[in-house]
A and B are shown apart, each in its own frame.
Chain A
């Protein structure tokens, strides 16, 4: 009964979404405020009804209702309760439902926090989001209904993929989706502005906080996924250039470009058509990412063959959404005008180069990810392009980008001069070069790549400190002076420092990690990076729905015990799938990482992998700093003040016409 309620809720949601996509937009076109007034209530109603659907599916999972096909495929009565809830997004159908649910959350958020927007604009934004929602609900109802029944019901479920039974992965997809779907807001704002024909800095100011929030979620989501890969896959790697990872990285690159481009559009009214295009691209890539990952196209193109309806629907949906928005762009963008002029050397030109580099980086990831797909679709067989391609392409793109990052905040808007910039950065450049030459020598090994990494990180840190020092220059109380720059300035610099911290992590791990892959019998000791690892054998430990072979490894340094590690090899009882659980002793300057390979047949020995990973946690700490920086910048008071000011203006019955700041 309850799954039928869920199914019914989806159907109602579909009709509501059609109304939400039609009425407000028609209203805005005819300047009919009654029709436009329906935007908010419909958005709220849609949110409530999709909530009902998602609650029904959670109920089916929690109550082990294996007469629901999706539940039978992705859960099991032995599955611990938290994973039964998370199994909701363990497969294709449920992920679509989660996607739609998150879309309605964003829509309600826009409806609630954008009361200061002109009614036309808000109606169009909510309308566009309704249209997107229609697409997803149709997709679900026509090809991938999570409430499809399985009759007769299964005795028990096929269990959730053990890879997904992990606390890190419980939070990873919702975070990622908050990011993906969040870009739909920027997208809707861009389309509304195109529809209304008014692309000005006001539009950019409205889009900015939404874009940044989505970007923050996406950053956290990607970082979580990478952390999970680090401790769950047992190879000690944190990024594999795997198509699934790339699918989330592409919108991140486009989103990062969008954030910077929006800044220029807001402050200087330049780059307008480029910004719109980026907003469309960021969301299109999110859509593509969702589909590529969820439909299983990338793991096997033949997933389409089993259900060609899905493949065709996906493609049609992409063509409708992306095609129509690009058509709108082609039609409206020529009227936008070029905006403020700027010189070859100026903050605008630096941000433009930043945008170009990010776009090229994004395009090369796109190429590397889809190339195997194209080859497979054309019958060339499955291929891996693999890390060599991405590493070769990425370093040369990122190095100038990071150098630019140090210069951007220093350069003046509109017109800057090279001698002036040179005067301010020469010592920073010399200092970072000295550090880049000396630090690797102190660490014991000097390679050009390590030196480059350290150069970039040092450069960012030093230019950031220099710029901050200039901004708070003057006399008086230091605390008072520190309050002079805005919060969004601090947010930006924190995010930039996050990049530096990230680069340090990557460089150190790549350059100085120690790895031992050895056969160890009980009592054997292996030495790595000054630590001794003693293997004390393996015992069997039962888990809720698996049995684990748990090893004990005692780590000591200079005869003193540092820690004990308990790496596991788990076998999940339903699927019979083996899983590796690495055991890690994290540290500020290094991680000690041990994972079990395979038992050596006929002996008590095991293949054991031991890693010393210097500074590896800095990778995720850097991501966290970027995310916090993003959060800090949207808490800037100018967004709140403008919001209030705009509201009084709007209620005063006037048209919003803000001057460019």
Chain B
């Protein structure tokens, strides 16, 4: 008997979830990695895969780590913002090119412009897992000691940039 009710139960749970989702206000997600050291990685660079880059080279600087991919639609949404941020020279943006092909990634950057100081390739997504990437895009603010101070899930928006990311960057740079 139970097994015939099961589809109904599953569906009702799903519908309940949807209903709650409809009414919820967007809010920040606490990440378990906030205030923890950024997970270590050494990955090949996108434009020159013979060279590696590691997060440890950034000690002493405040920087942004932006997880992106050429197949990611939402990344195209935040791209113009990243470009204008890069032009202002406030904070360096490093890209983690997530589960992407080199040609695709370079093609996209050539076409749309390159806001990144440097890009590394996370071809199989291992580093992404360490960082707890939910999906693409995500952006991390990392301080001079290499501690993650903020995590933006989903595309960077004007609002999140001006109200969260930039004030935090300014504060961390003063320290």
Question: Once the chains are docked, how many angstroms separate the CA of A618 from the CA of B94?
Answer: 41
27 of the cross-chain contacts (CB-CB < 8 Å) are: A240-B71, A273-B4, A277-B7, A304-B22, A315-B19, A323-B12, A326-B11, A330-B4, A330-B7, A334-B1, A373-B21, A376-B154, A378-B24, A383-B74, A383-B134, A383-B136, A383-B154, A385-B135, A386-B69, A386-B71, A386-B72, A386-B136, A387-B71, A388-B71, A515-B103, A517-B103, A607-B111
Chain A residue contacts of B12, Cβ below 8 A = 319, 323
Answer whether residue B153 sits at the interface, using C-beta atoms and an 8 A cutoff.
Answer: yes
Give every chain B residue within 8 A of A118 (Cβ-Cβ).
Answer: none
- Give the size range of B's interface with the partner: 35 or more
Closest to B74 in A: A382
User: In angstroms, how far is the closest chain A Cβ from the Cβ of B95?
Assistant: 16
Q: Which residues of B sit under 8 angstroms from A163, Cβ to Cβ? A: none
- Whether, in the assembled complex, B129 has its beta carbon less than 8 Å from a beta carbon of chain A, the answer is no
Task: Report chain B residues within 8 Å CB of A385.
Answer: 135
Asked whether B27 lies within 8 Å of A379 as measured between CB atoms, the reply is yes
**Residues in B neighbouring A318, C-beta threshold 8 A:** 15
B33 to chain A, nearest CB (A): 15
Question: What 8 additional pairs, Cβ within 8 angstroms, besides A326-B8, A379-B25, A381-B155?
Answer: A240-B71, A308-B22, A333-B4, A334-B4, A375-B153, A379-B24, A383-B153, A598-B111
Contacts of A388 in B (CB 8 A): 71, 99, 125
Partner of A315, one of B5, B22, B29, B110: B22
The answer to whether B21 touches A374 (Cβ under 8 A) is: yes
Could you tell me if B99 and A242 are in contact, using CB atoms closer than 8 angstroms?
A: no
A588 at the interface (CB under 8 A from B): no
The reply to whether B11 and A322 contact each other, CB–CB distance below 8 Å, is yes
State the CA gap A301–B23 with chains docked (Å).
11
**Residues on B facing A (Cβ under 8 Å):** 1, 4-5, 7-8, 11-12, 15, 17-22, 24-29, 69, 71-75, 77, 99, 103, 107, 110-111, 125, 134-137, 152-155
Q: CB of A380 within 8 A of chain B?
A: yes
A-side contacts of B153, CB under 8 Å? 375, 380-381, 383
Chain B contacts for A326, CB-based, 8 A: 7-8, 11
Q: Kindly list chain A residues whose C-beta atoms are within 8 Å of the C-beta of B1.
A: 334
Chain B proximity mask over A518-542: 1 for CB below 8 Å, otherwise 0: 0000000000000000000000000
Residues on B with C-beta less than 8 A from A387 are: 71
A327: nearest chain-B partner, CB-CB: B8
With A383-B74, A384-B72 in contact, is A375–B135 under 8 Å at CB? Answer: yes
Q: Is A312 an interface residue (CB 8 A)?
A: yes
Q: Which residues of B contact A607 (CB under 8 A)?
A: 110-111
Beta-carbon nearest neighbor of B155 in chain A = A382
1/0 contact string of A379-422 vs chain B (CB within 8 Å): 11111111110000000000000000000000000000000000
Least Cβ distance of A519 to chain B in Å? 9
Residue from A308, A379, A384 whose CB has the most chain B CB atoms within 10 Å: A384
Task: Give A391's nearest chain B residue, CB to CB.
Answer: B99
CB of A311 within 8 A of chain B?
yes
Chain B residues with Cβ under 8 A from A517's Cβ? 103, 107, 110-111
In the bound complex, what is the Cα–Cα distance between A385 and B17 (angstroms)? 19
Q: How large is the interface on A (under 10, 10 to 19, 20 to 34, 35 or more residues)?
A: 35 or more
Find chain B residues with CB under 8 A from A273 CB.
Answer: 4
Chain A residue with the shortest CB-CB distance to B98: A388
Contacts of B72 in A (CB 8 A): 384, 386
On chain B, the residues within 8 Å of A378 by CB distance are 21, 24
Chain A residues with CB under 8 A of B154:
375-376, 380-383
CA distance A319 to B152 in the complex (A): 34
Within 8 Å CB of B110, what residues of A?
517, 607
CA distance A373 to B11 in the complex (A): 16
A112 within 8 A of B: no
A-chain residues with CB within 8 Å of residue B26 when the two chains form the complex: 379, 381
Given known contacts A242-B73, A315-B19, is B135 in contact with A379 (CB within 8 Å)? no
- Which residue of B has the minimal Cβ distance to A598? B111
The list of the 9 closest CB pairs from A to B, nearest first, reads A381-B154, A377-B21, A383-B135, A379-B26, A326-B8, A388-B99, A384-B72, A382-B154, A381-B153
Chain B min CB distance to A583 (Å):
19
**Chain A residue with Cβ nearest B156:** A381
Q: For the complex, give the distance between the alpha carbons of A515 and B110 in Å.
A: 15
Who on chain A is nearest to B12 by CB? A323
A334 and B99 CA atoms in complex are apart in Å by 47
Closest to B77 in A: A382
Q: Which residues of B contact A598 (CB under 8 A)?
A: 111
**A228 at interface (Cβ–Cβ under 8 A)?**
no
Beta-carbon contact of A375 and B15 below 8 Å? no
Shortest Cβ distance from B47 into chain A, in angstroms?
15
Minimum C-beta distance from A513 to chain B (A): 11
Least distance between B139 CB and chain A CB atoms (Å): 10
Taken together as a complex, chains A and B put the C-alpha atoms of A594 and B84 apart, in Å, by 31
Contacts of A377 in B (CB 8 A): 18, 20-22, 24
- Closest residue on chain A to residue B25 by CB atoms: A379
Q: Is A173 an interface residue (CB 8 A)?
A: no
B29 engages A379 (CB within 8 Å): yes
A319-B15, A329-B4 given; A380·B136 CB < 8 A: no
Interface members, chain A 301-351 (any B CB < 8 Å): 301, 304, 308, 311-312, 315, 318-319, 322-323, 326-327, 329-330, 333-334
Would you call B18 and A330 a contact (CB within 8 A)? Answer: no
A498: CB under 8 A from chain B?
no
Structural contact, A323 and B8, CB atoms closer than 8 A: yes
Q: In this complex, what residue of B is CB-closest to A609? A: B107
> Which A residues are CB-close (under 8 A) to B107?
517
Question: What separation, in Å, do the CA atoms of A311 and B5 have in the docked complex?
Answer: 27
In the complex, A54→B29 CA distance in Å? 47
Distance between A323 CB and nearest chain B CB, rounded to angstroms: 6
From the candidates B18, B19, B134, B137, name the one contacting A375 in the complex (CB within 8 A).
B134
| A543 → chain B closest CB, angstroms | 24
A311-B18 Cα distance, complex, nearest whole Å: 10
Given that A312-B22, A329-B8, A383-B153 are known contacts, is A374 also in contact with B134, CB under 8 Å in the complex?
A: no
In the assembled complex, the Cα of A382 lies from the Cα of B135 at a distance in Å of: 9
By a CB distance below 8 angstroms, the chain A residues around B20 are 377
Chain B residue nearest to A308 in the complex (CB): B22
- Chain A residue with Cβ nearest B10: A326
Closest chain B residue to A515, Cβ basis: B103
| A221 contact set on B, CB distance < 8 A | none
Which residues from chain B contact A373 at a C-beta distance below 8 Å? 21
A327 — which chain B residues lie within 8 A by C-beta?
8
Check A381/B22 contact, CB under 8 A, given A319-B15, A388-B125. Answer: no
Asked if A255 is at the interface (CB within 8 A of a chain B CB), the reply is no
Measured CB to CB, the nearest residue on chain A to B99 is A388
Chain B nearest CB, measured from A596 CB (Å): 12
In the docked arrangement, what's the CA distance between A322 and B17, Å?
15
